[in-house]
């Protein structure tokens, strides 16, 4: 082949992923028809983060090889491959994928181990020599076209993003239907945390778990201050640690403040279970000066006529 010909730069590599948490088995999640789109979405978003472009790297196939999930990657531009390698080397890709999986699967954390291979070469041992890594990836030409399943998942993801904002309000209402089997709220009859009552504005209130009604009121009324409330809750809620709140802001940017606030509280409820109490939410609202919202949640406005 002639040097300097206009043939495109094409290379291939395999990304091996494994969760270090025994209860999270990535291949099993990907084999589940319900979870597969969520895992795919997280992979797609993290790879886009790593190259700075949705089309920077192509997924050709995802193999389930317990305990690994193996993603076959195709690069069509050297600079995209270089960006990917930098992101991989610095740990940014790992952090991004952990965050996206956490959000997509609504889990508290998804700790990962990664390996990168091109042919028989283990690239992890030579990451500091970027040109050598690029050479190994360039040497490996993709041995297949994109898997049909990947094409279907891509289409599904596109239509999902398109319809998300349209169906969003309906979906929220569906989630709240009392017959829904998958409510994130623990059963209301279960025993409460030790703090049985708490004080708000000099009055004593019974502590209780958050209800679907609290959830909707909060999302509707907290407005732009949802992030601040999230940061107050994050002090003793690991699931809301910093990147999570910023990722929620980005991921639900199109849907607006209601959905961002709704998803924030959903993360809190799902991760804290019985400990997701009204007392903790009221304390976070007080800390941010949202007293009328706190009063609303405690029913203090119920006897007043709406002005």
The DSSP result for 225-241, as a single string, is GHHHHHHHHGGG-GGG-
Least confidently predicted of 5-19, 41-55, 166-180, 193-207: 166-180
**Statement: residue 223 has pLDDT above 80:** yes
d(CA 230, CA 114): 30
Burial class (CB in 10 A: 0-12, 13-18, 19+), 30: buried
* Integer CA distances (angstroms), 138 to 8, 57, 118, 238, 288, in order: 11, 13, 9, 41, 53
pLDDT category, 171, cuts 50, 70, 90? very low
Residues above pLDDT 90, as percent of the chain: 60
8-state DSSP, 205: E
pLDDT category, 52, cuts 50, 70, 90? confident
Angle formed by the axes of helices 257-272 and 278-287, nearest 10°: 130
pLDDT category, 173, cuts 50, 70, 90? very low
Burial class (CB in 10 A: 0-12, 13-18, 19+), 291: middle
| CATH number of the structural domain 11-153 | 3.30.70.680
pLDDT category, 115, cuts 50, 70, 90? very high
What are the structural domain ranges in the chain?
11-153, 197-298
- In this prediction, residues 127-148 reach a mean pLDDT of 94
Q: Which CATH number fits domain 197-298: 1.10.533.10, 1.10.10.10, 3.40.190.10, 1.10.287.3510?
A: 1.10.533.10
For 133-200, give the DSSP string. Answer: HHHHHHHS--SSPPPHHHHHHHHHHHHHHHHHHHHHHHHHHHHT-TT-TT-SSPPTTSPPPS--EEEE
Length of the chain in terms of residues written: 307
Q: What pLDDT was estimated at residue 43?
A: 96
Angle formed by the axes of helices 278-287 and 226-233, nearest 10°: 120
- In this prediction, residues 268-297 reach a mean pLDDT of 93
d(CA 23, CA 266): 21
For 49-95, give the DSSP string. Answer: HHHTSTTSSEEEEEEEETTEEEEEEEES-HHHHHHHHHHHHHTHHHH
Say which residues have a Cβ less than 8 Å from residue 170's Cβ, sequence separation at least 6. none
Q: In what side-by-side order are the strands of the sheet with 11-19?
A: 58-65, 68-75, 11-19, 112-118, 121-122
Mean of pLDDT over the chain = 85
Q: Do 197-298 and 11-153 fall under one CATH topology?
A: no
Q: Give 188 or 244, the one with higher predicted confidence.
A: 244
Q: What pLDDT was estimated at residue 162?
A: 63
d(CA 67, CA 53): 29
- In this prediction, residues 134-158 reach a mean pLDDT of 90
**Statement: residue 288 has pLDDT above 60:** yes
Query: Percentage helix, strand, coil, to 5, in the chain?
Result: 55, 15, 35
Handedness of CA 105, 167, 266, 235 (dihedral sign): positive
- In this prediction, residues 6-28 reach a mean pLDDT of 92
Least confidently predicted of 175-179, 199-203, 254-258, 275-279: 175-179
- In this prediction, residues 81-103 reach a mean pLDDT of 94
């Amino acid at each position: 082949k002639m040097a300097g010909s206009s043939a495109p730069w094409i290379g291939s590599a395999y990304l091996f992923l494994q969760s270090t948490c025994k209860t999270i088995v990535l291949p099993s999640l990907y084999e589940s028809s319900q979870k597969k789109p969520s895992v795919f979405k997280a992979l797609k978003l993290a790879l886009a983060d790593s190259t700075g472009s949705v089309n920077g790297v192509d997924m050709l196939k995802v193999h389930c090889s317990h305990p690994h999930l193996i993603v076959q990657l195709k690069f069509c531009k050297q600079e995209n491959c270089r960006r990917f390698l930098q992101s991989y080397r610095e740990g940014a890709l790992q952090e991004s994928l952990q965050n996206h999986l956490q959000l997509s699967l609504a889990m508290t954390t998804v700790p990962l181990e990664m390996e990168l291979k091109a042919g028989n070469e283990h690239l992890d041992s030579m990451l500091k020599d970027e040109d050598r890594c690029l050479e190994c990836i360039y040497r490996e030409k993709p041995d297949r076209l994109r898997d049909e399943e990947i094409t279907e998942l891509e289409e599904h993801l596109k239509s999902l993003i398109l319809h998300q904002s349209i169906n969003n309000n309906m979906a929220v209402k569906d989630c709240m239907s009392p017959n829904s089997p998958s409510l994130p709220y623990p059963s209301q009859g279960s025993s409460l945390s030790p703090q049985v009552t708490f004080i708000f504005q000099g009055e004593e209130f019974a502590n209780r778990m958050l209800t679907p009604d609290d959830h909707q009121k909060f999302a509707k009324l907290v407005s732009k201050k949802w992030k601040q409330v999230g940061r107050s809750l994050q002090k003793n809620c690991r699931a809301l640690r910093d990147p999570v709140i910023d990722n929620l802001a980005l991921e639900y940017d199109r849907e607006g403040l209601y959905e961002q606030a709704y998803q924030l509280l959903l993360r809190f409820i799902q991760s804290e279970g019985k400990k997701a109490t009204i007392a903790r939410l009221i304390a976070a609202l007080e800390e941010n000066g949202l007293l009328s919202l706190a009063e609303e949640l405690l029913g203090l406005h119920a006897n007043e006529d709406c002005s």
